[in-house]
Structure 1
Amino acid sequence: MDGNRKKKGLRRLLLFIAAEFLLAALTVWMFDPFYQYHGPFFGMEAVLNDRDNQMPGTVRNFSYDSVLMGSSVAENFDSSFLDGTYGCRTLKIIRASGSVADLLYYLEMAQERGELRNVFWCLDIPALEASTEVTLKGGDTPGYLHTAGILDDLPYLFNKEILLERIPAMLAYSHAGINTGGHAYDWSRGKEFGAAQAMRAYDRAGIVLEGEPPDRDFSDKKGLIGDNVALLTEQVSSHPETTYRFLIPPFSMLWWDCAYVNGELEERFYALDSAVTALLRFENVEVYCFQQEDWIVCDLDNYMDMVHYGPEVNQYMLERMAACGNRVEPEDWEAVLAQLRELARRISQEEIYRYYP
């Protein structure tokens, strides 16, 4: 009798443990904070605040016909403005550093679901010099994020952090309307913007120049820049029914002065010129340049560091694009590039000294 009771007790214990595991897995599957299996249930809005973990699932499982792409400087765009303006349904695709190869990885995943109507791409100049290798896999990145099957998802389904932290936070954010709707991945809440904050990222006062800094030789970079431009043009040419709108964002004058003192101005202009010249050859491409907006670039109150601006600048870019403002036509590009060169000269010779006397 004692032996039978022990066996029954052991079976009950095992059944109880199995039920707990099943309940945990069902809870994670149902709420699914990384959206590995489905969009949000129960009428909840999607809470998108973890770009690295949520990006693959949202690309696979959300409903959209357009995408808004870029690095961290693109996260504060309100994509609902695009939906209302262009009559589309936009998904944000964000990658830290925004390399061309990594963003194309997600874009090609999205296009496997069907031809997109619009690609809004906030194209950083540094992305044109980034590695052409996809860096989304390996290291600390969970492999299960990049597979559609469930067989490798045990670290996700049975995860204390997911159950006790991620899901409650998702519910709280959804209730408060944080990082929902068009404000997916928006990081501006609670951040400090202003000249004092921006200048902490760049010690221009500690730099002593003796004459003009010589231009660095970047012949070794030209091949890499060409490879990235080729990735862009191959993407555009392969999808003639998709309209690509590239926005060149306005990095601050700190970024441009840093390029000047390091002899990198020509390298940056070469990268930008190579990309824009190549892209403007396509009928399904529009290019909008905001780097020459000196009232933004030269006012450090718009920034929190050398490149990151506030959401007001993001909204300005969308509104100008919607009105076809700042659009670069093929015949205009040389004049715009000359304007950029003059602004870079004026920054290093005049404007920077308003903040660094």
Structure 2
Amino acid sequence: MNQQTAKKWFIKCILTLVISLTFIALLVIIVDPYFHYHKPFSFLSYRLYEERYTNDGISRHFDFDAMITGSSITQNFKPSEMDALFHANTVKESFSGAGYQELADNLDRALSRNKNLKQVLWAVDYNGFLREYDWARYEEYPTYLYDDNPLNDVSYLFNKSILYHGVLTNIAMTLAGAPSTTMDEYSSWDMETGLEVILSTYDRNNVNTDVPTGFGEEEYDMVTQTITLNILRVVNKYPDTTFYLFYPPFSIFYWDSLNIKGTLDRQLKAEKVATELLLTCPNVKLYNFFDQYDVICNADFYSDDGHYCEEINSRILQWIAGDTGLVTKENYLEKLAKERDFYTNFDYDSLYE
């Protein structure tokens, strides 16, 4: 191969590479499986499934004025039901295993981009009060999808996983005539429920009792920091948005574990601090369903000590729409006292008979 031939071969290789990469980039931009560049096209079918890749794109480009957000206990909410009850156009942005900071940061981005977002349903995980404000279960993130820096979009445009599992999957769905994942279906699950299922993951004889049980200045500061730097930061920044916050109705088996560990008093004191902080915000409506005993004490509604089936998600929407469980400055101490009395004196042994 002489020098001239080698030069032509090299140029052809470079041109082929450039054309191939350009084609891949254009394909990713057009299909855009995670809505980084544009809203869904009507002629394409989309599979919505990876929350931490998809949610920011929903915030950027979908048309909505209401949002449901929270950890995995919000995955079975149906936005269509919220639409009907709250006269809204709702999207769902759940984050399995999320901490408070992750949810707050995502919601802040959504609100900054969508001035029409006026109603937010936000699940405040009850077991998160006494975690560090920046607690996170997942460390690796597709941060290149969250910012507006076009330079790091190479991680999106030339990503084998996104090409195979996002772009090509959506094209295959479109060619097969399969419909897009609906917002009701997005991230939802259907697992078995009942006592046997709960006891397969919860063993009251092996509950870790080597845990802090007191509530002092350090715990007070932790709750205050967690709530202030995450929830209050966002709520106070957007005073024209109504935030429907609720403590998820964990099952009676969760409360059993608190009693065994000796941390019930600690948790109730943390709840009191968090509640008092949240009630300072005029655009917050706070709900507590721990007195819905027909739900909490019925194992048939739960797949473990915390996760409930979609029927309870529907009930929560109906409760909130009717102001059932509303917490106010006038009733929160009474509700806390009843909560303490019930869960302290409940006959937990009867659950296993």
Tell me the TM-score normalised to structure 1 length: 0.86
Partners of 1:101 and 1:243 in 2: how far apart? 19
Q: Does 1:216 align with 2:213?
A: yes
CA–CA distance in 2 between the matches of 1:24 and 1:127? 42
Question: What's the CA shift for 1:230?
Answer: 2.2
Question: % of aligned pairs identical?
Answer: 27
Q: How does 1:155-304 map to 2 (within 5 A)?
A: 155-170=155-170, 176-177=178-179, 179-186=181-188, 188-189=189-190, 191-205=191-205, 216-219=213-216, 220-231=218-229, 232-304=231-303
Q: Please state how far the C-alpha of 1:320 moved relative to its aligned partner.
A: 1.7
When residues 117 and 41 of structure 1 are mapped into structure 2, their CA distance, relative to the original with a 3 A threshold, is same
Q: CA deviation at 1:225?
A: 0.1
Correspondences of 1:52-131 after superposition (within 5 Å): 52-115=52-115, 116-131=117-132
**Cα RMSD, aligned residues only:** 2.9
Q: Which residue of 2 aligns with 1:308?
A: 307
Structure 2: distance between partners of 1:75 and 1:286: 21
Question: Partners of 2:264 and 2:36 in 1: how far apart?
Answer: 43
Structure 1 150/3 Cα, relative in aligned 2: closer, same or farther at 3 Å? same
Q: Quick one: distance in 2 between partners of 1:68 and 1:311?
A: 14
Change (3 A) 1:12 1:136: farther
Moved more, 19-28 or 309-318: 19-28
Hey, what's the Cα distance between the residues in 1 that align with 2:260 and 2:126? Answer: 18
Q: Which residue of 2 aligns with 1:337?
A: 336
Q: Who is 1:32 aligned against?
A: 32
Task: Pick closer, same or farther for the CA change 1:170–1:288 going to 2, 3 Å.
Answer: farther
Q: Is the deviation greater in 127-136 or in 271-280?
A: 127-136
Within 5 Å, give how 1:128-139 maps onto structure 2: 128-133=129-134, 135=136, 139=139
C-alpha displacement at 1:224, in angstroms? 0.8
Aligned twin of 1:354: 350
TM-aligned CA deviation for residue 161 of structure 1: 2.0
3-state secondary structure, aligned to 1:26: helix
Kindly state the Cα deviation for residue 86 of structure 1 after the two structures are TM-superposed: 2.0
Distance between the aligned counterparts of 2:178 and 2:258, measured in 1? 42
2:319 aligns with 320
How far 1:312 moved relative to its partner?
A: 0.8
Residue deviations 1:88-108 (CA, integer Å, cap 9, x gap)? 222323233332222111121
Question: Is the CA contact (8 Å cut-off) linking 1:95 and 1:103 kept in structure 2?
Answer: yes
CA distance in 2, matches of 1:88, 1:247: 19
Measured after TM superposition, the shift of residue 307 of structure 1 is 0.7
Please, what TM-score do these two structures have when normalized by structure 2? 0.87
Distance 1:58 1:320 in 2: 27
What is the deviation of 1:48?
2.7
Per-residue deviation, 1:43: 4.2
How many pairs does the alignment contain?
348
Aligned-partner Cα distance in 1 for 2:79–2:208: 43
Q: Cα distance, 1:243 vs. partner?
A: 1.0
Distance 1:221 1:208, change over 3 A: closer
Give the partner amino acid of 1:101: Q
